[in-house]
Structure 1
Amino acid sequence: MVRTVAEYWADLPPTPLGIPRRSDFDPVSLPPRVLPHIWMVDLDREPDRFRFRLCGSHLVRALGFDPTGRYYDEVFPDFAATETFAALARVRDTAEGSWRSGDPNLVFPNHDIRVLERAFLPLTGDGRRVDIVLAVSVYRSRPPASR
């Protein structure tokens, strides 16, 4: 899933900033099985906050509710101190994507997530700065330890 979205993003036409425009991203171009794993984040700068723009059903199920339109710090207490905040800020500041696999660093109270894989991929609305992150995530339960 993550690789499929990352490859699609890499094939989109780049702006002079080196990243695709939001308007070039067409989720219908992706395989339907990927769509529940897609979500988007608006990057606000004044103040420095991140807002759920769109949430696929995979994330909604993990959270237990649809956070679309809400800020991360409204959903996750102490969000500014998390690795996820730092990763989103890096994507915004560097216009480079981010990939991670391993233990989750945010608590999903309604889901027993043990392992996640995710990518944060920068998009631009105006061609001059990163203002949206295209995200894809897969959550899994950790397999039982072998005896």
Structure 2
Amino acid sequence: MKPAVNAFPMPDKVESALGRVQSYWQSLRRGENDIPFSDDVDPSRVPELEDQMMLVTVFENPERFRFETVGTHILRYYGVSLPGKFSDEVEERPPFDSFTQQCTATVAQRAPTHYRFETSGLNTGYARILLPTWGDGHVMMLLGAVARL
């Protein structure tokens, strides 16, 4: 099922760490391109945020999303190793609630998306951003980041 247009909209102001990841993504755009090329993304260029970032490969027909790299802060939060797994193979729980749907929306919209999950008293609140990158004529990879609230 395809998400509605403008699913997972970007808020006017994103969480500080996510905003810095988005600024990094924007800095990679070439010329008049709306989104950067996948081969330009290198999380190690943002060492202060690398532990909060992830790279997800996009597959078409059928559409699936595979975790390539996942920062150590995200892995500790989730509690299970993710690199090499597809999003539909992992349990939907913080920080990956509605993750596959957000990936689908990011690819369909070819634009950044945002997800925020707030809780009261459980200390599991977080926000997540997904940013599309281009390669081989389609959205090829997503740059993502998670920030705890």
TM-score w.r.t. the length of structure 2 is 0.75
Is 1:28 the counterpart of 2:48 in the alignment? no
Q: CA deviation at 1:17?
A: 5.5
User: Given the superposition, is the C-alpha separation of residues 132 and 15 from structure 1 closer, same or farther in structure 2, using an over 3 Å criterion?
Assistant: farther
**Identity fraction in percent:** 24
Rounded to whole Å, the distance in 2 between the matches of 1:47 and 1:17 is 26
Give the 5 Å matches for 1:1-147: 1-14=17-30, 18-30=34-46, 32-76=47-91, 83-103=98-118, 113-126=123-136, 128-140=137-149
**Which blocks of at least 5 consecutive residues in structure 2 are unaligned?**
1-16
Rounded to whole Å, the distance in 1 between the matches of 2:125 and 2:109 is 26
User: Given the superposition, is the C-alpha separation of residues 9 and 43 from structure 1 closer, same or farther in structure 2, using an over 3 Å criterion?
Assistant: same
Aligned residues between the structures: 127
Cα distance per residue 1:7-51 (max 9 Å; x no partner): 111111237752101111222321x22110000111112222211
Runs of 4+ in 1 over 6 A off after TM superposition: none
TM-score w.r.t. the length of structure 1 is 0.76
User: Given the superposition, is the C-alpha separation of residues 33 and 93 from structure 1 closer, same or farther in structure 2, using an over 3 Å criterion?
Assistant: same
Which residue of structure 2 lines up, in the alignment, with residue 108 of structure 1? Answer: none
Which residue of structure 1 lines up, in the alignment, with residue 4 of structure 2? Answer: none
Q: CA deviation at 1:138?
A: 1.2
Q: Please tell me whether the aligned partners of residues 15 and 21 of structure 1 are also in contact (alpha carbons under 8 angstroms).
A: no
Structure of greater Rg? 1
Name the aligned partner's letter for residue 49 of structure 1: R
**Which blocks of at least 5 consecutive residues in structure 1 are unaligned?**
105-111, 141-147
User: Given the superposition, is the C-alpha separation of residues 54 and 15 from structure 1 closer, same or farther in structure 2, using an over 3 Å criterion?
Assistant: farther
> Cα RMSD between the aligned structures?
2.1
Q: Which has the higher helix share?
A: 1
